[in-house]
Amino acid sequence: MKLALLLLRLLPPEISHFIALNALNLLYKLHLTSIVFPHKHASESFEFKGLIFKNKLGIAAGLDKNGDFFNSLGALGFGFIEVGTITPVAQSGNPKPRIFRFLNQGAIVNRLGFNNKGVDYLVKKIKLRNFNGILGINIGANKTSEGQKRVDDYLECFKKVYPYADYITVNISSPNTPNLRSLHQKENFLPLFKALHLARNEAKYRNPIFIKLSPDEDEQIIAEILVAIEKFEFDGVITSNTTVQKDNLRYSGQHNLEGGLSGRPLLEKSNELLKLTHSHAPDLLKIGVGGVDSKESFNSKLDNGASLVQIYTSFIYQGPEILNRLLR
């Protein structure tokens, strides 16, 4: 396993990502996943709104954008998988190179820009679901959408995915789609939240809806969003998305580091947002994500108010063995 990870790191990030996930899919189809990656951990389950999470560890959105790999990822033993971010229309994302590794710091900077095959493709894949854990779907807006069209993008995704989603995450916090984070401003998030609230009631969708927050906003903005989340009867928050601040990342000037930072350097900042949301809304469910790469950092999320935890960068660097390290 260590040799495979070393070889993958020699390849460009997006190529190694493609190879690794397709290799995992092959193991799954050959019914070899549990043999190659046996579960060596106890499962502490968690229940929320009738959903049973067999353990508290999940994969964050971004790893499986199009629903191509959630069955094989689920076979590794995750309690929940979140796919997406998905948009109404397929888009290629930002120009390459757009992923930068900082292995020694356990960090990644990406500026992918919601590259995905569109919501209709995702729905086709999810109809082939075998994964019996909790499946979340993360929705967003296309890059060129503005104003009401942007709200309509979220509504279109919601209406197409809700019959298949154990929960839905509304991504208003990616730093890689122009002006998306302006949805943290009251004049922008109120119309979006109201529209989603009405769509949810019309669809009679009773499963959770979460809002994914940016770690780069100040307390007043976060407090206003939390008030609106409770007003429109959403169920929780995911704290947090990547950060555009890279003060604690060591890198040479040769890199153009626009994009979002994930991994170990994000831990403190994401935990600050987690603590902040917990202090303002202690009864709201929180999923903690950002910088989790050890049992200690996993526990820090739970200690600061999270009920569930997601990983992304540490899975890329450490592979499936990370589950046993975090859950046993």
Q: How far apart are CA 184 and CA 241, in angstroms?
A: 13
Residue from 16, 72, 173, 174 carrying the catalytic annotation: 174
Specify the DSSP class assigned to residue 305.
Answer: T
Chain-centroid distance of CA 139 in Å reads 10
3-state secondary structure of 92: coil
On the CB side of 182, CA atoms within 13 Å amount to 13
Q: Is 270 a catalytic residue?
A: no
Specify the DSSP class assigned to residue 285.
Answer: E
Phi, psi angle pair for 124, to nearest 5° = -60, -40
Residue 137, Cβ density class (10 Å: 0-12 exposed, 13-18 middle, ≥19 buried): buried
Neighbours of 191 (CB within 10 A): 15
Q: What share of the chain is helix, strand, coil (3-state, %, to 5)?
A: 40, 20, 40
Chain-centroid distance of CA 198 in Å reads 24
* SS3 letters across 60-80: CCCCCCCCCCHHHHHCCCCCE
Those residues whose C-beta lies under 8 Å from the C-beta of residue 216, and which sit 6 or more positions away, are 175, 181, 243, 244, 245
| Residues assigned a catalytic role | 174
